[in-house]
A and B are shown apart, each in its own frame.
Chain A
């Protein structure tokens, strides 16, 4: 009985936490370079917002509860939302007009605001008892039942991660601007497109299953760069490990602190991560 719980419920949950945390951290690291903005994170392009709209719609319309393969309908619709958003960003990025990274950043922020408004609209219309389910989804959680849900993650996550890891060497070059990178022989447009595609795929997979878990994708990349240096061939795998480990530990707290019930892991990430990151920041600024 104990073994059964351990192997069929605990292990998949720990794996999920590790994969989601790691993916969000890798996606965040890559986006911060490509968008040349230290505040960039996987959700800044509106991916989480669009995913949330999908999830909220399913929760509010009871007839939509269907299962499709390993996906539940909430996952499926949030995935759909994410992919529509990624598609829009990718389409913008590959436009031959040469859209600047700032434009893409602003477009992402705008999509986020639009999605926020759409969610508020749905919340205003639906009956109040559904709001609890929506809020719970928006806080993010890793409460999956078994390997079935976990396997639903992989078809998007693995190609997405592979795409990002392959860009590590070229990402270093982008640190000195697009012109310098092109001069050094980097096909900048292609790196940008592949990074958007890769972050889109990984973030969509993570959000559809675990909801918008904040903080990991923003802070872990900075913590890793402080600890390991700024070579992205090292930063990306290191961010995957640190992000994964961080979310796993957070999930452990989420499950145990208020046992027998559990807290949304999104709350824990900020509560634990905030002080830890401030500590790293201050330690380094004393060195300098």
Chain B
């Protein structure tokens, strides 16, 4: 074989190794074949009392090592889906299984040792210190009056570091900004040492730097075997960091698949209307979702 041919083969194999799409493929196949489902919801339905809105029979699962993005327009049922999956509300029919156990038959503490849930609205009622709040995440591992062992203190310390709130340790929540508070509450959920995380808009109050850091942290966590489902309105974060995406509309999962397959102009137009444009990322082949240019462009033209 000529030198040239050898080099071409080498380039091909190297490229395929670093190409993000192929990396995704490898991950996906690995999940489907080897990894365990941590959480699975089977045929769950829910209707709020006195409302016409309902979640129609829905099934989904979260496996070890994957980040599942849950996206969709306002009122499409994303938060309801997470509440049902975490057992905060009980489905009208169908079941949720956590490590193959029916969640309806488990105690809250037992659930919390496996599953971390970060709700959308968690406003503090009393002014706890950052460290106290993070230590609250140890609740499912404690009994009695809930005194922390040295091991618990270690976990709390690590979570403070991971969520980058270590420097506020002694500060009180009322002295922190919205984004800092959100990170503190995330640290308290991490302190449960869960095997799966259900996060409802965890980065809504974070600046771009911390959004990226947060999703990088999620990537690290799933590499360690965790499974994550995250509701987000930031379709780009979903595109860059999620292995799979569920697209909801009107209380139904209408699309499910890799971000590249779901975040397309046609599909998003059906759900979000005319307001979005999808373009490929300049260096990877991942989709980027932009709000349609409107008044800004006209302004630029006239001036």
Chain A residues close to B by CB (< 8 Å): 33, 36, 97, 168-170, 172-180, 182-188, 225, 230-231, 233
- With a CB–CB cut-off of 8 A, which chain A residues contact B49? 97
Contact of A176 among B107, B112, B115, B124 (CB under 8 A): B124
Q: How far is the CA of A8 from the CA of B76 in the complex (A)?
A: 70
Across the interface, name the chain A residue whose C-beta is closest to B188: A184
Q: Is B122 an interface residue (CB 8 A)?
A: yes
Cα distance, A178 to B86, chains bound together (Å): 13
Q: With A97-B49, A187-B108, A233-B146 as given contacts, are A182 and B125 in contact (CB-CB < 8 Å)?
A: no
Give the CA-CA distance A169 to B140 in the complex, in Å. 11
Do residues B119 and A179 form an inter-chain contact, with CB atoms below 8 A? yes
Across the two chains, which residue of chain B brings its CB closest to A37? Answer: B125
Let me know if B108 and A182 touch, CB within 8 A: yes
Q: Which residues of B contact A187 (CB under 8 A)?
A: 107-109
Binding site for A on B (CB under 8 A): 49, 83, 86-88, 107-113, 115-119, 121-128, 132-133, 136-137, 139-140, 142, 144-146, 185, 188-189, 192
Contacts A182-B87, A184-B139, A185-B111; is A175 near B117 (CB within 8 Å)?
Answer: no
Return chain A residues, CB-CB under 8 Å to B125: 33, 36, 174-177
Taking the nearest CB of chain B, how far is it from the CB of A278, in angstroms?
Answer: 20
Determine the residue in chain B with the shortest Cβ distance to A189. B108
Show 5 A/B contacts (Cβ-Cβ < 8 Å), sorted by A: A97-B49, A168-B145, A179-B88, A184-B140, A186-B139
Contacts of A230 in B (CB 8 A): 126-128, 132
Cross-chain contact A184 with B137 (CB below 8 angstroms): yes
Complex Cα–Cα for A187 and B88 (A)? 10
**Residues of chain A lying within 8 A (CB to CB) of residue B132:** 172, 230-231
Residue pair A183, B126 in contact (C-beta under 8 Å) = no
From B86, B121, B192, A177 is in contact (CB under 8 Å) with: B121
Q: Find the residue from A36, A178, A186, A233 having the highest chain B CB count within 10 A.
A: A186
Q: A179-B88, A231-B132 are contacts. A185–B119 as well, Cβ < 8 Å?
A: no
Pick from A172, A174, A176: contact of B185, CB under 8 Å = A176
Q: Write the nearest CB–CB distance from A39 to chain B, whole angstroms.
A: 13
In the bound assembly, the distance between CA atoms of A225 and B172 in angstroms comes to 14
Indicate if the CB atoms of B108 and A186 lie closer than 8 Å.
Answer: yes
Give every chain B residue within 8 A of A168 (Cβ-Cβ): 145
CB contact under 8 A between A176 and B123, given known A97-B49, A183-B118: yes
Once the chains bind, are B128 and A175 in contact (CB under 8 Å)?
yes
Q: What distance in Å separates the Cβ of B100 from its nearest Cβ neighbour in chain A?
A: 20
User: What residues of B have a CB within 8 angstroms of the CB of A174 in the complex?
Assistant: 125
B122 in contact with A180 (CB, 8 Å) = yes
Q: Could you say which of A169, A174, A179 has the most chain B C-beta atoms within 10 Å of its C-beta? A: A179
Q: Is the CB of B124 within 8 A of A183?
A: no
Q: Are B140 and A180 in contact (CB under 8 A)?
A: no
If A177-B119, A179-B117 touch, whether A225 touches B88 (CB-CB below 8 Å) is no
Tell me if A180 and B119 are in contact (CB < 8 A).
yes
Write out the residue numbers on chain A whose beta carbons fall within 8 Å of the beta carbon of B112: 183-185
Q: Is the CB of A173 within 8 A of B136?
A: yes
> Besides the contacts A168-B145, A176-B125, A182-B88, what 7 more A-B pairs have beta carbons closer than 8 Å?
A97-B49, A176-B136, A180-B122, A185-B109, A185-B113, A185-B140, A230-B128
Can you name the residue of chain A whose Cβ is closest to the Cβ of B194?
A: A183
Query: A187: shortest Cβ distance to chain B, in Å?
Result: 5
Q: Chain A: which residue is nearest B109 at the CB level?
A: A185
Residues of A contacting B117 in the complex (Cβ-Cβ under 8 angstroms):
179, 182-183
A188 to B119, CA, bound (A): 15
A180 x B192 contact (CB < 8 A): no
CA distance A233 to B145 in the complex (A): 7
**Do residues B122 and A177 form an inter-chain contact, with CB atoms below 8 A?**
yes
CB distance from B98 to the nearest CB of A (A): 13
A97 to B50, CA, bound (A): 12
Q: Which 5 residue pairs are nearest across A and B when measured between Cβ atoms?
A: A185-B112, A183-B117, A185-B140, A179-B119, A230-B126
CB neighbours (8 Å) of A178 from chain B are: 88
Question: Chain A residues near B86 (CB, 8 Å)?
Answer: 182-183
Q: Are A179 and B122 in contact (CB under 8 A)?
A: yes
- Residue on A nearest B132 in the bound complex, by CB: A231
Q: A188 → chain B, closest Cβ, in Å?
A: 8
- CB-CB under 8 A from B88, the residues of chain A are 178-179, 182-183
Known: A175-B125, A175-B126, A233-B145. A184 touches B192 (CB 8 A): yes
Q: Which residues of B contact A179 (CB under 8 A)?
A: 83, 88, 117, 119, 121-122
Residue of B nearest to A97 (CB): B49
**How far does the alpha carbon of A172 sit from the alpha carbon of B113 in the complex, in Å?**
18
Nearest residue, chain A, Cβ from B115: A183
- When the two chains form their complex, are residues B139 and A185 in contact, meaning their CB atoms are under 8 A apart? yes
Chain A hits for B144, CB < 8 A = 169
Residues on B with beta carbons closer than 8 Å to the beta carbon of A233: 145-146
Which B residue sits closest to A169, measured CB to CB?
B146
State how many angstroms separate the Cβ of A277 from the closest Cβ of chain B: 18
Contacts of A170 in B (CB 8 A): 139
Residue of A nearest to B174 (CB): A288
The complex places the Cα of A230 from the Cα of B135 at a distance, in Å, of: 14
Least CB distance, A165 to chain B, in whole angstroms: 9
**Residues in A whose Cβ lies below 8 Å from that of B137:** 184
